[in-house]
Amino acid sequence: MKYRAEANDRLRALRARRRAGLNARADAVARAMTAYAGLPARPQAFALRPGLLALSPPRKLPPSAGGELYLETEPLSVRRQTERLSRPPATQLIAERSRALPTIVSMLYVAQCEPGRRGRFENRHAVAKSSGRAPSWALLCGRYDRNLRTRRERMRRDLTHLGEVGLVALAEHGQGRYEAFTLNREDNADRRYVVPGVGEGPLLLSTSLITNGWHLVLEPDELALYLLINHLLATVPKKPHEDGVPLTSKTRFTVYGVSSEAYNAIHELEEFGLIRTHDPMPHRRRGKVRPPTQAELDDAAENEQSLAPVPYQLELIPDALERPALEVIDGQLGTYPLPPRVLEFDDILEAKYASVPLASPLKGSRLALSGGAAGPASAS
């Protein structure tokens, strides 16, 4: 159909641009990973305070969902600003369409590799220019460019966004406004950063998230979603009858402040082999549910079951971060101009791959990576 063909053309163009962007940043990512290897220590786990990702207590729902987050009579610009500012820092940052989230994740990791007295971090890195054994933040955050002015501008842009959400404190005036920045706690803009203690109940992640470059190679919305899925699975027990933990639309809004657009990144996370999605609705394809037959309606009524859409159940894939991120994602984008989730496997078998085993054309896809079955295209 024409609509599907045009949609697939747009997806091909997006993936081609993403791969070109990855290739352009490959040197910066490689330099960052080399710099991590030279840091004084490597923590056993990368610890994040939940306040970076989740709201406690949760925020209110919007009026359209029966909540009081803002007034419907307020101007649209005011409502949008209220909604954005009520999010946790991580999802405030991705709303800005910036790369500040990977930058702050890099900074927090460096702080844990260089803890000072009582875990208090002292910033001894210049913003854009390395000196002696102290690599610059531009190098450590994957923002390197051969041109000093370019990498300085990149870091200033990121630091501005981080200052707006309280994750760093910039100097008030002068040329050293950025050079003298202070790293703040993830959950308190008024307190300087100290490495989280076990008693604080931090979210513990594999350091391979950083040392294999995943935080720099994933898109910021993918990174935010991966982090909050880790938080969700660490705090919400899986029910015995479910394959994973659902991230409901209410929880997405009230706890994590993640938009529907950002939530759709679960499919990229699955394609790259980081998570599995289990669909409790077997007739859902490309995010759409086939209308139930009369027999299914009768069966649901007889068993007092609802046929309303339900969210996917999510689980993490163990040791997925142990692979080099750039190699995995570039390989996937290069092998498949279209996301595997949009491929109609019956059509593939009947056409180009009619004589090829199914595992062959999809080698390296999310099927091969996750061992799961074909999934839908967009989230519920």
Nearest partner of 119 among 52, 49, 208, judged by Cα: 49
Percentage of the chain modeled with pLDDT above 70: 82
Q: Average pLDDT of 228-239?
A: 95
What residues form DSSP beta bridges with 288?
Answer: 285
Phi-psi region of 118 (alpha: psi -120 to 50; beta: other; left: phi over 0): left
CB 207 within 8 A of CB 42: yes
The length of the chain in residues reads 380
pLDDT tens by residue, 131-161: 877 999 999 999 999 999 999 999 999 999 9
pLDDT tens by residue, 320-346: 999 999 999 999 999 999 998 887 533
Q: Where are the alpha helices (DSSP H) in the chain?
A: 2-37, 76-85, 89-95, 100-113, 137-140, 148-164, 208-211, 214-217, 220-235, 249-251, 260-263, 266-271, 294-302, 325-335, 345-350, 366-370
Separation of alpha carbons 227 and 247, rounded Å: 13
> Which strands sit side by side in the sheet containing 275-278, from one edge to the other?
245-246, 313-316, 275-278
Looking up tokens 């054994």, which residue turns up?
Answer: 133
> How sure is the predictor about 281, in pLDDT bands with cuts at 50, 70 and 90?
confident
Please report, for the chain, the start and end positions of each structural domain, with discontinuous segments joined by +: 26-53+88-208, 218-296+308-380
Exposure class string for 161-182: b at 16+ Cβ within 10 A, else e: bbbbbbbbbbeeeeeeebbebe
pLDDT number for residue 260: 87
pLDDT number for residue 294: 64
Separation of alpha carbons 353 and 157, rounded Å: 47
